[in-house]
Structures are given as C-alpha cells and as structure tokens.
C-alpha cells in the first residue's frame, strides 16, 4: 500500500491512541464523566482487530502511557513535601510506562485472539482485560489504581457485578460494551472498503452487537437479584464520628501548625453531642503525640474518649513490637477503648507496604538501603486482623485498612472472611495536597464496599472522608459546593448499620480464582490455536 492510504494506515493507530487516552482520562476523577467509560477504549479495540499484534501492542502502549501520564498528574505535588523533583518526575514517567506495559500486553493478546479466532475474539476481550488488570494489581507488589470498573463508581447501580467477581467483573462488563462500539467502528472501516454486503452476513453481524449487550444485561440482572437470606439480617446502629484533621505532611519543612491538642479538641467538641460509639482519626494522627503503644498516646486517647462519653478511638501511627529479639516498626492503626478505669489498645499493622515509600526493596538483607527510605527507616508488614468495639453493649468487629490498602481487593476480602462487620480505612493524602489524588484515591474504596457487602468507614487526614454503603452509595464530608472536602478540617457524624451476621458475598467467598482460571485458559487456548494452525501449514 502506498500514497494516501499508507498515510491513513500509519496515522489511524496514533489517532486511536490519543482519542482513547483522552476519553479514558475523562472517565476518572476529577472529571468523573462516567459515560465515557462505555466507549473510551473502542478506538484502540478497533485497532487491535484490524492491525497486526505488534502494531496493536504499540498503539495500546502509546494510548496507555498518555492516559497514565495524565491521570497521575498529581504525583509532582509531592515536591512540595520535600520530594526531590528529579526522582519524582522519574517515578512519574516510570510508573506511567509500567502501567502502559499492561495495556500493551492486552493489545497484543487481543490482536492475536482476533487473528486466530476470527469473530470469536469478542469472547476473549473481557477475560483478557480483567486478567491483565489483575496482573497489574498483583505483579511486583502491584499498582491497583484506576481499574476500568472504578470509573463507574458515581453510578452505584452499575457496580452490582462486583459482588460476584469484584472490580474485575465490572471492568469486564465495561469492556464488553466498549467492544460493541469497536465493532461499529470496524464496520464503518469495512464499508469504506466495499459498498456491498451479503445478506447472510447481516444477521451474524447483528449478533456481534446484540450478544455482548445481552450478556451485560443478564450479568447486571443476576448481580442485583435480592437474596432471601440477606433480607432478614438484623443490624446494629453504629454511631461514628469521622475527624479530618488536615495536618500538614510531616515531611513539609517550615510549616506553621496549630497545636494538635487544640485542633483535635475543637473537632471533637462537634462530635461530643452525638455520643458516638466510635471516633476515627486519620493515618499518622497519633504520631503527633507518640507511638501507638506509648503512655502519651494512651493518655490522649483516654482524655478524648471521656470527652465524647466513652467512645472508642481509631487512630494511625507508628507501632513497635519485639519479635524474636528484634524490634520491628509497623505502620499501625490502634483502637483505644475505655474499660472501667483502664484504656485498652488493639493494634492492626499494615499488610501491603508501599515500595520506595515505606521500605526499599531488599533493604532487610542489604541494610544500608534503609537509609534511602523517605521516612528514614524500613517498616515491616503485618497480617490481616479484626478489631472489636462496642455499640450499646453489642460487639462490632471492624477490619482496619491503611492508606493504599483500600485499592487492593484481596485485603478487604481477608477482613470480611475473618468476620468483620465493617471496614475502617484511615489514610493520609496530605503528601499530595492541592491535587486531585485524594478524590482518585477515595474512588478506589467504593468497590471494596460492594465486593464485600460491608460498609466502609473512611477517614482521611486531608480528605476524602465519609461513609460508603454496601451498595456503593457514598456520603462524603463535603464543602459548600457539594464536593468532597479536601485540604481542610472537618467532622462528620454518621450512623452506620452493620449486620449482626453478615453473609459472605460470592466474591468474598471465591475471590479471584474463577478469573485466573479463565485468564489462563484463554491464553492457553490462543497458543493451542496457533499450534494447530502451524501444523496445518
């Protein structure tokens, strides 16, 4: 091919990548144009069907890099908190390229599926996309951020499939719909090449759009079908006070601070009249007073608990424990409760640590590497744990999560399987103050509530703070314009209904195994088709 047609063949994939990237960015916060998620990837899906696997991979890499570079534009905000800008920019570019690599993997696999299986490639796309999302969230500790299904959060009714297959099933449903638009695009291209079409093909081609839409409708019908066992569940009204302190990042130099006792005292005064059962502060909140287990922290927790009528307090901070003669440091969440004249402490230690943030890879074996950690030491990971609090005499079990952990579906599932009745997430996003990172982060947690069927009680030091119902509906602490309150102090009082004996959702029970089996089987099937074709030749 030469002349104008060659220019079209070269330019079309690049145009598809740019268009898909722009539409996909629009689907996520701060824009949250949810409808865009239904067709954002259609241009690149069409490219995978029409181009070679190699060209498809490069197209998806280019579109993926543009999307990730734009959607992670909050990363330079860390420079305000003593983050060295060369390393921040390098990390921004590197993370964008890494995530784009998973896009490229999907494009390469999808192109092979269409080349080897013809129109049956349509059946492979949802599984291949969901499988590559799972890989991105797991491989090399993972980056489980902005899965396609997360973009549907503003419309809770669209999240119902997460009860069955997690956020990955929601993403798969969205890819099916994107595939319908890709099919229409491919037809337009084909019609430009020839003007006639045999009648017998019209019927089969109508199925290419009708069947995916029918599958999506059936999926949502099955996911939303009410369970008679769940209908009769009793619930406990848990009164909670969510305190958003908005303390500056601890690494910001020369910052004028309000005294923490005065700041928390003012916010707790607003909570006291409601007589909450549970007060939740953000991640690292107790660091302003001492380590979680220190006498100073215990005294502060007891003082504020008595001022609110004896409410239990959840707050984050450093926790040190001796294991096999070694003193280990953890990023912890402590639950302080008054028991008569004593204050008891239960501690959860963060399981999923952030590499290059809370530890340096291999620094447990090469100890000098620990000096490179931005917090000055190397943290250890903890284990899944459920903490207990009281609500008018009834025991309520909560599963704490800290910061980035609300992006990882497996961690919320572990808490639910241990018998948790609610998930309590504490975070400190002031590292990225004055950016849209906090809103993007909060969007990730919405799916955890739907997947587990448990309410999520979420407090951010600088936002976003609020309640996520098991249906995916949210009640955020808001500013005067109805948007989530970010980079400002506030207090939110809520009553959360927690089930006395919550039933495990299908996703909590079976996890990601059904997806992984389908993903592996799909890739194996593609290789088998390739092997058969090679033998036929």
Per-residue model confidence (pLDDT) at position 193? 60
Domain ranges of the chain: 11-228+514-536, 234-502
What local confidence, expressed as pLDDT, does residue 228 receive? 40
In contact, 493 and 278? CB cutoff 8 Å: no
Q: What is the pLDDT of residue 230?
A: 52
pLDDT at res. 7: 37
Q: Which residue has the higher pLDDT, 212 or 414?
A: 414
Q: Are 435 and 259 in contact (CB under 8 A)?
A: no
Instruction: Give the confidence band of 140 by pLDDT, cuts at 50, 70, 90.
Output: confident
Task: Please state, in angstroms and rounded to a whole number, the distance separating the CA atoms of residues 126 and 136.
Answer: 15
The rounded distance, in Å, linking the Cα atoms of 354 and 379 is 10
Q: What is the pLDDT of residues 96-131, one digit of tens each?
A: 999 999 999 999 999 999 998 887 888 899 999 999
Which pLDDT band holds residue 435 (cuts at 50, 70, 90)?
very high
User: Taking all residues of the chain, what is their mean pLDDT, rounded to a whole number?
Assistant: 88
- How far is Cα 320 from Cα 189, in angstroms, rounded to an integer? 63
298, 343 contact by CB (below 8 A): yes
Q: Could you report how far apart the first and last alpha carbons of the chain are, in Å?
A: 26
User: DSSP class of residue 435?
Assistant: S
Provide the sign of the torsion angle of the four alpha carbons 450, 453, 455, 456, taken in this order. negative
- At 120 the pLDDT is 80
Find out whether the peptide bond into 30 is cis, omega within 30 degrees of 0: yes
pLDDT of 201 over the 80 cut:
no
* Right CATH for 234-502 from 3.40.50.300, 3.60.110.10, 3.40.190.10, 1.10.1060.10: 3.60.110.10
Flag whether pLDDT at 159 surpasses 50. Answer: yes
DSSP-derived 3-state class of residue 227: coil
Distance CA 42, CA 125 (A): 12
- Residue 537's pLDDT is 44
* pTM for the structure as a whole: 0.91
Q: Reply yes or no on whether the pLDDT at 232 is more than 70.
A: no
pLDDT at 118: 83
Higher pLDDT, 174 or 12: 174
Give the pLDDT confidence score for residue 220 in this predicted structure: 66
Percent residues over pLDDT 90 in the chain = 70
Residue-level pLDDT at 204: 54
H or E, element range at 87: helix 85-117
Q: What is the mean pLDDT of residues 37-45?
A: 95
Please give the pLDDT value at position 372.
Answer: 72
For the stretch 120-126, contacts whose Cβ atoms lie closer than 8 Å and that sit 24 or more positions apart, written own/partner, are: 121/49, 122/179, 122/183, 122/208, 122/211, 122/212, 124/522, 124/526, 125/45, 125/175, 125/176, 125/179, 126/172, 126/173, 126/175, 126/176, 126/179
Give 274 or 361, the one with higher predicted confidence: 274
CA distance 235 to 413: 20
pLDDT digits (tens, 9 = 90+) for 438-490: 999 999 999 999 999 999 999 999 999 999 999 999 999 999 888 999 999 99
58-95 tens-digit pLDDT: 999 999 999 999 999 999 998 887 778 888 899 999 99
């Amino acid at each position: 091919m030469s002349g104008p047609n060659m220019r079209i063949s070269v330019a079309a994939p690049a145009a598809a990548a740019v268009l898909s990237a722009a539409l996909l960015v629009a689907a996520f916060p701060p824009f949250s144009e949810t409808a865009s998620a239904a067709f954002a990837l259609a241009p690149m899906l069409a490219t995978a069907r029409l181009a070679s696997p190699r060209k498809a991979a490069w197209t998806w890499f280019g579109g993926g890099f543009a999307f990730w570079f734009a959607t992670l534009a909050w990363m330079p905000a860390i420079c305000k908190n003593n983050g060295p800008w060369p390393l921040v920019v390098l990390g921004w570019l590197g993370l964008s390229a890494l995530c784009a690599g998973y896009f490229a993997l999907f494009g390469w696999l999808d192109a092979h599926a269409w080349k080897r299986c013809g129109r049956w490639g349509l059946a492979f796309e949802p599984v291949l996309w969901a499988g590559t999302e799972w890989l991105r969230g797991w491989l090399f500790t993972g980056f489980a951020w902005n899965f396609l299904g997360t973009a549907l959060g503003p419309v809770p009714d669209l999240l119902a499939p997460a009860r069955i297959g997690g956020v990955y099933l929601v993403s798969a449903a969205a890819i099916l719909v994107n595939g319908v638009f890709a099919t229409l695009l491919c037809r337009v291209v084909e019609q430009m090449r020839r003007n006639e079409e045999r009648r017998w093909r019209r019927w089969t081609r109508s199925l290419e759009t009708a069947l995916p839409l029918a599958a999506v409708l059936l999926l949502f019908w099955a996911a939303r079908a009410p369970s008679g066992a769940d209908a009769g569940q009793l619930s406990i009204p848990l009164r909670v006070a969510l305190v958003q302190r908005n303390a500056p990042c601890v690494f910001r130099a020369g910052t004028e601070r309000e005294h923490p006792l005065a700041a928390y005292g003012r916010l707790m005064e607003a909570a006291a009249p409601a007589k909450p059962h549970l007060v939740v502060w953000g991640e690292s909140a107790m660091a302003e007073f001492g380590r979680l287990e220190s006498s100073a922290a215990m005294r502060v927790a007891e003082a504020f608990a008595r001022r609110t009528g004896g409410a239990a307090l959840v707050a984050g901070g450093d926790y040190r424990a001796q294991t096999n003669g070694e003193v280990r440091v953890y990023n912890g969440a402590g639950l302080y409760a008054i028991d008569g004249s004593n204050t008891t402490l239960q501690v959860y230690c963060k399981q999923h640590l952030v590499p290059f943030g809370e530890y340096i890879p291999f620094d447990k074996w090469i100890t000098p590497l620990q000096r490179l950690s931005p917090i000055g030491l190397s943290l250890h990971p903890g284990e899944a744990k459920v903490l207990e609090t009281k609500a008018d005499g009834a025991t309520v079990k909560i599963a704490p999560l800290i910061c980035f952990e609300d992006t990882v579906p497996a961690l919320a599932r572990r808490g639910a399987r241990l018998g948790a009745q609610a998930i309590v997430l504490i975070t400190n996003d002031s590292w990225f103050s004055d950016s849209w990172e906090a809103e993007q982060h909060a969007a990730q947690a919405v799916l955890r509530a739907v997947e587990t069927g448990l309410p999520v009680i979420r407090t951010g030091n600088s936002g976003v703070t609020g309640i996520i119902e098991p249906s995916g509906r949210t009640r955020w602490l808001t500013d005067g314009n109805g948007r989530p309150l970010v980079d400002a102090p506030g207090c939110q009082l809520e009553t959360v209904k927690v089930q006395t004996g919550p039933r495990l959702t299908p996703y909590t029970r079976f996890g990601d195994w059904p997806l992984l089996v389908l993903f592996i089987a799909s890739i194996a099937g593609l290789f088998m088709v390739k092997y058969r074709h090679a033998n036929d030749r």
